[in-house]
Amino acid sequence: MFEHFLPFIVTAVLGFMVQPPITEVGLHGGPYWPDTSDNEMHMTVGATAHTPLGDRFGIQLGAGYTKRGRSWSCWKVFCEFVGMSLLGQVRFPLDDSVDLRAVLGPSYGVEVWCRRESRTQGTAEGCSSPVARSEVPLVAGIGVAIQASRRVGMTVDYRYGFDLREWGSWDWLDRSEGIFESSLTAGITYRIAH
């Protein structure tokens, strides 16, 4: 199980050593939809930090939590994932207070909790697998940011991703085990430097 958390440890060590200049931090949350046959809605929350690479380009570091679920005729499964992302970001200013944003890059997530509920017997139990699952989705997204004041802003983002590990083996006709996911989040940002 340690190997699933190794990317988090390496990122923390490298971040401490390199200490990139962070100019903006943010919090966001909203609905999350896995692309499966039951199409149930779940929630995701997270935090971000933005490091500029010029006037329009930058890198967005992120950490987040997502609760997921899946249903079969006899069972419902609920799992919780924590993850991190390293996304390239492009900003397109519309005026002094509004800009459009696009992101693209990899993410990494690890399952930290899982429970199964029997639909027929009404019982609940922990999932039987002793090994935590991990995923490596490629994330693309668009959004808008509005500066409410010199330091504080509001964001709305739509993101779409697919798990790179499952891309070659996914059956396009079987939608019960989707590799696609999407989220629509609203958030607040704080500019550390102007």
Checking if the pLDDT of 173 tops 70, the result is: no
Contact assessment for residue 110 and residue 134, using Cβ atoms and an 8 Å cutoff: yes
Cα–Cα dist 38/129, whole Å: 23
Over residues 87-108, the pLDDT tens digits come to 999 999 999 899 999 999 999 8
Contact assessment for residue 52 and residue 194, using Cβ atoms and an 8 Å cutoff: no
Q: Which residues does 150 contact at the CB level (< 8 Å), separation at least 6?
A: 191, 194
Q: Confidence band (pLDDT; 50, 70, 90) for 20? A: confident
Q: Which residues does 175 contact at the CB level (< 8 Å), separation at least 6?
A: 35, 36, 37
Q: What phi and psi, each to the nearest 5 degrees, are found at residue 10?
A: -60, -40
Q: Confidence band (pLDDT; 50, 70, 90) for 134? A: confident
User: Which residue has better confidence, 187 or 121?
Assistant: 187
Tokens of 3: 């190997």
Give the least confident one: 21-35, 67-81, 122-136, 160-174: 160-174
Checking if the pLDDT of 174 tops 60, the result is: no
Over residues 41-71, the pLDDT tens digits come to 788 999 999 999 988 999 999 999 988 776 6
Checking if the pLDDT of 152 tops 60, the result is: yes
Q: Bridge-partner residues for 108, per DSSP?
A: 84
User: Which residue has better confidence, 172 or 126?
Assistant: 126
Checking if the pLDDT of 36 tops 50, the result is: yes
Which of these, 63, 59, 53, 111, lies nearest to 85 by C-alpha position? Answer: 63
Checking if the pLDDT of 39 tops 70, the result is: no
Contact assessment for residue 112 and residue 132, using Cβ atoms and an 8 Å cutoff: yes
Can you give the pLDDT at residue 187?
A: 96
Where does 94-170 show beta strands of DSSP type E? Answer: 98-118, 124-126, 134-135, 137-147, 152-163
